[in-house]
Amino acid sequence: MREIKFRGKSLDNNEWVYGGYYNMPDCRKDNPRHIIVYQNNGPGQLTIHEPIDINTLGQYTGLKDINGKEIYEGDILQINIKDKTIKNKIISAGNEVVEYKNCKFGVVWGWHRDFIGLDGFYNANFEVVGNIYENPVLLEG
């Protein structure tokens, strides 16, 4: 069973925070607060409630890239597929954005731009090269 966790950019310091997500009603305002909850590993093991920018919220896919980095919704992946028919040939598809669609994580792929689940790639290596929030330039061209 995969680990369920999220990430989002803190409203306080614009840094990434990782943990559980919940949408907390704010009785004083009409808009809810979006919170990432995590355990502080310091003395006392405090539970931290960090308000985040909802536009940066992404869920962990349960997968890691070739370097061991966790893959989240909104990450930009370089996908390299090894061609078994030609020795040492790698087919590279450029940078693709991880999305959640049809009850699975995947990318819009190929010239026909179909959505393919990350589990649908055979002989492929994924590498997180950035994300859509901090590195949109990676999607240009």
Give pLDDT, residue 72: 97
Residue 71 inside a domain? The answer is yes
Q: What is the pLDDT of residues 65-88, one digit of tens each?
A: 999 999 999 999 998 887 666 666
Residue 102 inside a domain? The answer is yes
Same domain flag for 51 and 66: no
Q: What is the pLDDT of residues 109-134, one digit of tens each?
A: 777 778 889 988 877 889 999 999 99
- Hey, what are 89's tokens? 């040939």
Strand partners, 105: 100
- Which range (36-50, 51-65, 126-140) has the least confidence? 36-50
Q: Which of 45 and 115 is assigned the larger pLDDT?
A: 115
Give pLDDT, residue 126: 92
For residues 81 and 2, give the distance between their C-alpha atoms in angstroms, rounded to a whole number: 24
- We report the CATH number of the domain holding residue 82 as 2.30.30.290
Domain with 70, as residue range(s), is 62-135
- Hey, what are 120's tokens? 């649908």
Same domain flag for 37 and 67: no
Residue 52 inside a domain? The answer is yes
> With b meaning 16 or more CB within 10 Å and e meaning fewer, what string describes 59-80?
bbbebebeeeebbbbbbbbbbb
Same domain flag for 82 and 122: yes
Phi, psi for residue 55 in degrees, rounded to 5:
-70, -10
pLDDT above 70 covers a percentage of the chain that reads: 84
Residue 69 inside a domain? The answer is yes
Residue 141 inside a domain? The answer is no
Burial class of residue 96, CB neighbours in 10 A (0-12, 13-18, 19+): buried
Same domain flag for 69 and 12: no
Give pLDDT, residue 39: 79
Instruction: Indicate if the pLDDT at residue 13 is higher than 90.
Output: yes
Domain count, the chain: 2
